[in-house]
Amino acid sequence: MAGPTPTDPAALFREMLGQWEAMANEFGGNLMKSGEFTRVMHGANAANMKFKEARAEMMDRALDAANMPTKAEVGDLSARLHRIEATVDRIEAMLAAQAGGSATPDRPKPKRTRKPPQSKATG
């Protein structure tokens, strides 16, 4: 005496979700085809760029008032420092070559303070 089988609530949910996805895809596709959507997106992108520029300028003014360098200035200083270090290395190599020594100066090696772990196999 088998009665009518109960309906699967998950199947009903999946069907409703599928219909909702189809409607949302159709609506979104039609919306994105419109010229108005394109104009709105361009306007939003332009507003976002202006906001970023204003924020960067405000940050530059705040850093200038605090007498601190900006990210670009730190990058420039870093690049200049690398060029100076390369020049010093070339000068050191030329001086060492003229003196008849090695091209690289002898620098102290780091101390090896770590020891390997003791094995516990004692027999």
Lowest-pLDDT choice from 29-38, 39-48, 100-109: 100-109
Do residues 77 and 68 lie in contact, with contact meaning Cβ atoms separated by under 8 Å? no
Q: What is the CA radius of gyration of the chain?
A: 35
Question: Does residue 70 contact residue 60 with C-beta atoms inside 8 Å?
Answer: yes
Q: What is the pLDDT of residue 22?
A: 95
Would the CA dihedral through 84, 85, 89, 92 be positive or negative? Answer: positive
Q: Which residues contact 96 (CB under 8 A, 6 or more apart)?
A: 102, 103, 104, 105
Q: 113 near 123, Cβ under 8 Å?
A: no
Is 94 in contact with 105 (CB distance < 8 Å)?
no
Query: In angstroms, how far is CA 26 from the centroid of its own chain?
Result: 35
Where does the pLDDT of residue 102 fall: very low under 50, low under 70, confident under 90, or very high at 90 and above?
low
47-98 residue pLDDT tens: 999 999 999 999 989 999 999 998 889 999 999 999 999 999 999 999 988 9
pLDDT of residue 123: 46
Backbone angles phi, psi at 108, to 5 degrees: -65, 140
Residue 105 DSSP label: -
